[in-house]
Amino acid sequence: MSFQKLDELCHKLEALEHALAILGADEATHMAVGGGAKRAEAMAALAGMLHRQASAPEVRDWIETAKSEDLNDDQRIAVTELDRHYTNLTCLPSEFVERQTVQRLRCEQLWRDLRGKNDWDNFRPALEAVVDTVREEAALRAQVLKLDPYDALMEQYDPGNRAADIAPVFEGLKTFLKDFVPKALSIQAERDAKNPRKPLAGPYAVERQRALGLALMEAVGFDFTHGSLSVSHHPFCGGVPTDVRITTRYKSNDFLSALMGVLHETGHALYEQNLPHEWGHWPLGRARGMAVHESQSLFVEKQLGRNPAFWQWALPVVERELGESWKVEEILPWVHHVERGLIRVDADEVTYPLHVILRFELERELIAGRLNVADLPEAWNAKMEEYLGLSTLDNPADGPMQDVHWPSGAFGYFPSYTLGALMAAQQWAAFERAHPDANAEIAQGRFEAVNEWRRSNIWKEGSHYSTPDLVTRATGEKLDARFFIAHLEHRYGS
Amino acid sequence: MSFQKLDELCHKLEALEHALAILGADEATHMAVGGGAKRAEAMAALAGMLHRQASAPEVRDWIETAKSEDLNDDQRIAVTELDRHYTNLTCLPSEFVERQTVQRLRCEQLWRDLRGKNDWDNFRPALEAVVDTVREEAALRAQVLKLDPYDALMEQYDPGNRAADIAPVFEGLKTFLKDFVPKALSIQAERDAKNPRKPLAGPYAVERQRALGLALMEAVGFDFTHGSLSVSHHPFCGGVPTDVRITTRYKSNDFLSALMGVLHETGHALYEQNLPHEWGHWPLGRARGMAVHESQSLFVEKQLGRNPAFWQWALPVVERELGESWKVEEILPWVHHVERGLIRVDADEVTYPLHVILRFELERELIAGRLNVADLPEAWNAKMEEYLGLSTLDNPADGPMQDVHWPSGAFGYFPSYTLGALMAAQQWAAFERAHPDANAEIAQGRFEAVNEWRRSNIWKEGSHYSTPDLVTRATGEKLDARFFIAHLEHRYGS
C-alpha cells in the first residue's frame, strides 16, 4: 500500500529532522566552541540526506497512488498536505537550488561583515543577485502553484495567505497606527510626568531570574516532561514536540527582558507540545505555519503576559523569586512601554506592525520588479519617515541592511510577524466572548480555560487547515485588524 | 577514483555518527524525560541508515579498487582499516543480525527487571538463547576472520588481541593477586588501626565540587574549547572528538567519588581530543579500541590521579575550591582504599582484575561450549570464593546477573578493562624511564611531558596499529603484567 510506504518515509524523514532540530538547539546551548566546524559539516550532510529522501522521484508515485487508496479522512488530508510539501520542495530545478544556496550564503556572510560597517555600496551587488534569483524563484513557484509570484513565496511560510487579502488589512492598520502612535506616546509622556516610574535596576541574579521564568512557564502550561529552558545568545524555541528547547538570555539590570522572552518562547513551545502526536512524523502533525506560530507566542507574551490581570497574579511570584516588591501600576509602565525606534526586533507591540508593513510593501515591489535594490535605501527612508518620523538615509545598516531575512533570501516571511499579532488579538477576543471570566481567571494564575480553548481550536489541528481557514474556524470570521486595533486602543489609548 | 568515493562515504558516515553521538550524550544529560520514545525511534532510524550506507555492496568494490590505486602510506592504512571494519560489519547475514538484535533487546529488558528481583530462574532461558546465538556469531566471524571463535569476538573491541596471549598474562596476575589482596588488606587494617582515618563527610556543595573537577580537568590537559562537563546518572565520555562530553554525578558526603570519576572520564576525553583530526571521518582516525581507551582513562585516574605526588599538588586546589584542608597522608587512605566486594564497578584497582579474570575465564568456557548457562551460578560462585573469598550462591543478582554485558551479547569485552589497567602501568613505567622527573613534575601540577609522551606514542596514532603493536611501539615491549604488579606492590604492598 502506498500510504504505508509514505508512512515509513515520514518516519525516516522525522528521524533526520529530529537529529537536525536537536543538533541545532545543542549548537546554540551546549556545544563547545571548537565543535562548530564538524557540527556544520554533519548538519549539512544530514540536511542533504533529508532533502534527497524527501524529494525522491518515487515519492510522487506513492502520493498519486495513495490518493486513490481506501483512506480515512485524516489519512487523506495527511496525503494532501504531504503532496503540498513535496510540490513545494521539488518545484525548483536542482541546478537552480544549488546556485541560489551559494548566492544566499555569500550574501548572508557579506551582510554579517558589512552591516557592522554600514557599508551599503559593497553589500548592494550581492543583494541584487539574491533579489534577481528570488524573482526567478517566485516565477518558477508561481507557475507550478498557479499563484501570483509573491503569494507563491508566502505560501512557503503560511499556506493559503494571499497578498490581496493581507494588503487591505495592513492598509487599515497602517492608517490607524500613523495617528495612534503619537497619541499613545503623548499619553505615556503625560503619565510618566505625573507619576515618575519606579526604577527597574537590579541587579537580578541569573539564578533567581531563571527560577522566576520557570515558575511562570509552569503556571502558563509548559510541560517540563517534554521540554526545558536554557541560555543562548539569541532566544529561540527549538527541539522537537516531545522535547521542546526554549532559551533566553539574562540582563542583570532588567528582569523583564529575559522574562518576556521566556513567555514569548513558551507560547511557541505550548503549540509544539500540544500538536497531534499521532501525526508527529507527517507534515499534517506539524504547526500550521509561521504566522500561526507567531500568534501563539504573541498570545502568551502580549495577550496574557502584558495583560494587567496577569501581573496581579504574577507580582507576588516576582516578589517570592526576586525578593523585590512591585505594584501593578508600577510595573505596567515598563510592560507597556512604547517607543519609536529604527530596529524592528526592539519594537513594542504598538510600533512593531509599522516595521513589518514597511517591509511587506517594499518586498512586494521588489519581487514585482517595480522597485530595484539600488533604490531601496531611499524607498526605505521615505516610508520610515512617513510611518515613524525617523530617518535612515545615512544609516542603511538600520535600514535595508537591518535584518538577515533578505540577504538569506527569505522574502514573504515578514508579514507573518504582524499577522501573528492580529491573530493573537482575534483569538483572545474570541476566547473572551466564549469565556467572559477570562481576566478574572488570569488574575488568579489560572490558565486551564485559555489553554483548553487554544488546544481545541488551534494546537490539536496541526496542519489540517490552511492558515486563513484555521483563523476562521477558530474565531468565527476572517482575519480582521479591528481586534488588534481595539486591543491597542484599550491598552495604550486611554 | 575509488579512494575519493570512500572518502565521501566516510564523510557521510561521520555525519550520522556525529548525530548519534551527540543525541546519545544529550539523552543522558539534557533531554526532557518525556522525549525518550521519539529519541529512541530517531536514533534507531539513524543507526539503520548508518548501517545500510556503511555495509552497501558497492563499498566492497571501492575498497578492492582503492587498494590498487596510487595511495600514500596513510591512505593505504586507512583503506586497510576500513576494509577491516567493513568485513566485521558485513560478515554476519542480515537475517542473523535481526534475530540477534531482538534476542539481545529482550534479554536486556528482562535483565533490568529480574536482576532487582534476584530471579535467575526466569532470566536463564533468555541468557541461554543469547549465548547460543553468540556461539553462532563467534563461529561465523571466526570463519571469515580465520580466528578462534572467542578471538573473533574480542577482535570487535581490540583488534589483534588473542586469548592465547592474554590468558598467560592473566594467569600470572591472578596468582599474584590471590596472595596480594590479603596482604594489602592487612597492611591497610594495621595502618588504619594505628592512624584512624580523618572522616570524609562533607557536605560538599555540588557547585564547589564541579569547580574543583573543572580545575583539575583543565590542569590535566582537557581542552574546554573542544569539550565540556555535565551531570548524568551514569558517568560517561561521549560526544565527538571536536566536542567531547564527559559527565559525573555528585555525592554530597564524598567529593572523591565525583572527582575520581571526572579524572577517569578526562582520561578518555584526552584520547578523543588528541586523535589525528585529518583522519577524523575515517576509521583510521578513531581510537584504537576498548583496552587502549581504558588504558587512557586509567592512566589519568590511577597512574596520575591516585599517585601521592598528584595530591601534593592537588590538595591546595581542593582547599581553595572546597574550603577544606587535607594532608597527603590523610587523603591517601581514601584514595588507596582496598576492599573485597561482590561488585566489579565498585572495586578498587587491586581487586578489580580478579572480577575481570573470573568473567574472562567463564565467558571463554561459555563460548567454547564447555560451560552451560545452567551451570553458571555455581561456576561463578566457585571462582568468587577462590579469588575473593566471597559467595554468590544465593545471590545470582550479584553473580552472573551482575553486568549488562552478557544479556546484551557483549562477550569478549570484559578483558579490555584489565588489559587497560596493565597497559596504563606499562605506559607509566615507559614514560618514567624516559622521564625520571615524572613524579616531581606531577607534584607541581605539570602534565605537559606526560601528555606529550602519550600524544606522540598513543593519541596521534589513531588506529594505525593493532592493539598489541601499539603497546609494543609505545612501551618497547609486549604487554607484560609485571609493571602493573610492581605498581600495586609499590602502592599497596608496604
- Beta carbons within 8 Å of B269's beta carbon, 6+ residues apart: B222, B227, B237, B244, B246
Question: What residues in A contact B23, CB-CB < 8 Å?
Answer: 18-19, 22-23
Q: How far apart are the C-alpha atoms of A354 and A338, rounded to whole Å?
A: 13
Q: Do B41 and A15 touch (CB under 8 A)?
A: yes
Q: Are B458 and B296 in contact (CB under 8 A)?
A: yes
| Minimum distance, in Å, between the CA of residue B17 and any CA atom of chain A | 9
Question: Is A95 annotated as catalytic?
Answer: no
Q: Are A68 and A94 in contact (CB under 8 A)?
A: no
Q: Do B12 and A223 touch (CB under 8 A)?
A: no
Q: How far apart are the C-alpha atoms of A99 and A76, rounded to whole Å?
A: 35
pLDDT of residue A94: 86
Residue of chain B whose Cα is closest to the Cα of A277: B38
Residue of chain B whose Cα is closest to the Cα of A20: B19
Grouping H, G, I as helix, E, B as strand and the rest as coil, residue A305 is: coil
Best mutation target, B11, B46, B244, B281, to test chain A (most A CBs within 10 A): B46
Question: What residues in A contact B49, CB-CB < 8 Å?
Answer: 12, 15, 49
Residue B240, strand partner residues = B243
HEC sequence for A361-398: HHHHHHHHCCCCHHHHHHHHHHHHHHHHCCCCCCCHHH
Q: How far apart are the C-alpha atoms of B297 and B269, rounded to whole Å?
A: 8
Q: Do B242 and A32 touch (CB under 8 A)?
A: yes
Residues of A with CB under 8 A from a CB of B: 11-12, 14-16, 18-19, 22-23, 26, 29-35, 37-39, 41-46, 49, 223-228, 230, 240, 242-244, 280
Q: How far apart are the C-alpha atoms of A253 and A279, rounded to whole Å?
A: 44
pLDDT of residue B494: 87
Residue type, A312: Q
* pLDDT, one tens digit for every residue, chain A (494 residues): 899 999 999 999 999 999 999 999 999 999 999 999 999 999 999 999 999 999 999 999 999 999 999 999 999 999 999 999 999 999 998 889 989 988 998 999 999 999 999 999 999 999 999 999 999 999 999 999 999 999 999 999 999 999 999 999 999 999 999 999 999 999 999 999 999 999 998 899 999 999 999 999 999 999 999 999 999 999 999 999 999 999 999 999 999 999 999 999 999 999 999 999 999 999 999 999 999 999 999 999 999 999 999 999 999 999 999 999 999 999 999 999 999 999 999 999 999 999 999 999 999 999 999 999 999 999 999 999 999 999 999 999 999 999 999 999 999 999 999 999 999 999 999 999 999 999 999 999 999 999 999 999 999 999 999 999 999 999 999 999 999 999 999 999 98
| Bond preceding residue B203 cis, omega within 30 of 0 | yes
Angle at A470 between CA A152 and CA A87, to 5 degrees: 35
Residue of chain B whose Cα is closest to the Cα of A15: B42
Grouping H, G, I as helix, E, B as strand and the rest as coil, residue A281 is: coil
pLDDT of residue B201: 84
pLDDT of residue B450: 98
In the A/B pair of chains, how many CB contacts fall below 8 A?
117
Residue of chain B whose Cα is closest to the Cα of A224: B32
pLDDT tens, residue by residue, B220-258: 999 999 999 999 999 999 999 999 999 999 999 999 999
Q: How far apart are the C-alpha atoms of B2 and B424, rounded to whole Å?
A: 39
Query: B445, B454, B470: which is closest to B271 by C-alpha?
Result: B454
In terms of phi and psi (left: phi > 0; alpha: psi -120 to 50; beta: otherwise), the region of A118 is left
Q: Are A281 and A230 in contact (CB under 8 A)?
A: no
Q: How far apart are the C-alpha atoms of A32 and B27, rounded to whole Å?
A: 17
What are the φ and ψ backbone dihedral angles of B245, each rounded to 5 degrees?
-105, 110
Q: Are B350 and B179 in contact (CB under 8 A)?
A: no
From the list B12, B23, B49, the residue facing A22 with the nearest CB is B23
Question: What residues in B contact A45, CB-CB < 8 Å?
Answer: 11-12, 14-16
Q: How far apart are the C-alpha atoms of A339 and A333, rounded to whole Å?
A: 12
Q: Are A275 and A455 in contact (CB under 8 A)?
A: no
Burial of A429: CB neighbours in 10 Å, binned 0-12, 13-18, 19+: buried
- Beta carbons within 8 Å of B28's beta carbon, 6+ residues apart: B232, B233, B234, B236, B238, B247
Grouping H, G, I as helix, E, B as strand and the rest as coil, residue A228 is: strand
| Minimum distance, in Å, between the CA of residue A47 and any CA atom of chain B | 10
Q: Are B375 and B396 in contact (CB under 8 A)?
A: no
Q: How far apart are the C-alpha atoms of B173 and B488, rounded to whole Å?
A: 11
Q: How far apart are the C-alpha atoms of B136 and B142, rounded to whole Å?
A: 10
Q: Per residue in A259-293, is it b (16+ CB within 10 Å) or e — as a string?
A: bbbbbbbbbbbbbbbbbbbebbbbbbbbbbbbbbb
β-sheet with A243-248: strand ranges across: A227-231, A243-248, A237-240
Q: Are A123 and A401 in contact (CB under 8 A)?
A: yes
Q: How far apart are the C-alpha atoms of A48 and A56, rounded to whole Å?
A: 12
| Minimum distance, in Å, between the CA of residue B28 and any CA atom of chain A | 13
Question: What residues in B contact A41, CB-CB < 8 Å?
Answer: 11, 14-15, 18
Q: How far apart are the C-alpha atoms of B234 and B406, rounded to whole Å?
A: 19
Task: Answer whether CATH 2.60.40.10 is correct for domain B159-494.
Answer: no
Q: How far apart are the C-alpha atoms of B182 and B338, rounded to whole Å?
A: 10
Best mutation target, B7, B30, B229, to test chain A (most A CBs within 10 A): B30
Residue of chain B whose Cα is closest to the Cα of A8: B45
| Minimum distance, in Å, between the CA of residue B18 and any CA atom of chain A | 7
Residue of chain A whose Cα is closest to the Cα of B31: A243
Question: What residues in B contact A47, CB-CB < 8 Å?
Answer: none
- Beta carbons within 8 Å of B215's beta carbon, 6+ residues apart: B317, B321
Question: What residues in A contact B240, CB-CB < 8 Å?
Answer: 35, 38
From the list A12, A30, A223, the residue facing B45 with the nearest CB is A12
From the list A29, A37, A243, the residue facing B32 with the nearest CB is A243
Residue of chain A whose Cα is closest to the Cα of B38: A242
The total number of residues shown for chain A amounts to 494
pLDDT of residue A78: 98
Query: Model pTM?
Result: 0.94
Q: Are B404 and B127 in contact (CB under 8 A)?
A: no
Catalytic residue (choose from A17, A81, A137, A265): A265
In terms of phi and psi (left: phi > 0; alpha: psi -120 to 50; beta: otherwise), the region of A335 is alpha
Best mutation target, A18, A27, A51, A275, to test chain B (most B CBs within 10 A): A18
Each domain of chain A, given as residue ranges in start order, spans: 2-154, 159-494
Q: Tell me the DSSP string of A52-66.
A: HHHT-HHHHHHHHHH
Q: Tell me the DSSP string of A88-110.
A: HHHSS-HHHHHHHHHHHHHHHHH
pLDDT tens, residue by residue, B388-437: 999 999 999 999 999 999 999 999 999 999 999 999 999 999 999 999 99
Question: What residues in A contact B32, CB-CB < 8 Å?
Answer: 224-228, 242-244
Q: Do A226 and B35 touch (CB under 8 A)?
A: yes
Q: How far apart are the C-alpha atoms of A441 and A464, rounded to whole Å?
A: 30
Q: Per residue in B37-50, is it b (16+ CB within 10 Å) or e — as a string?
A: ebbebbbebbeebb
HEC sequence for A125-181: HHHHHHHHHHHHHHHHHHHHHCCCHHHHHHCCCCCCCCHHHHHHHHHHHHHHHHHHH
pLDDT of residue B261: 97
Question: Residue A374's CB: how many other CB atoms inside 10 A?
Answer: 12
Query: B416, B24, B31: which is closest to B236 by C-alpha?
Result: B24
- Beta carbons within 8 Å of A331's beta carbon, 6+ residues apart: A311, A315
Grouping H, G, I as helix, E, B as strand and the rest as coil, residue A284 is: helix
Q: How far apart are the C-alpha atoms of A250 and A83, rounded to whole Å?
A: 43
- Joined together, the cell numbers standing for residue A347 give 519594537
pLDDT of residue B94: 86
Q: Do A11 and B45 touch (CB under 8 A)?
A: yes
Q: Do B19 and A23 touch (CB under 8 A)?
A: yes
| Minimum distance, in Å, between the CA of residue A236 and any CA atom of chain B | 16
| Minimum distance, in Å, between the CA of residue B59 and any CA atom of chain A | 18
Residue of chain A whose Cα is closest to the Cα of B40: A15
pLDDT of residue A201: 84
Catalytic residue (choose from B137, B265, B301, B461): B265
- Joined together, the cell numbers standing for residue A37 give 566546524
- Joined together, the cell numbers standing for residue B314 give 592537588
Q: How far apart are the C-alpha atoms of B412 and B410, rounded to whole Å?
A: 7
Query: A46, A489, A96: which is closest to B15 by C-alpha?
Result: A46
Q: How far apart are the C-alpha atoms of A195 and A182, rounded to whole Å?
A: 20
Stretches in chain B below the pLDDT threshold 70 = none
pLDDT of residue B126: 96
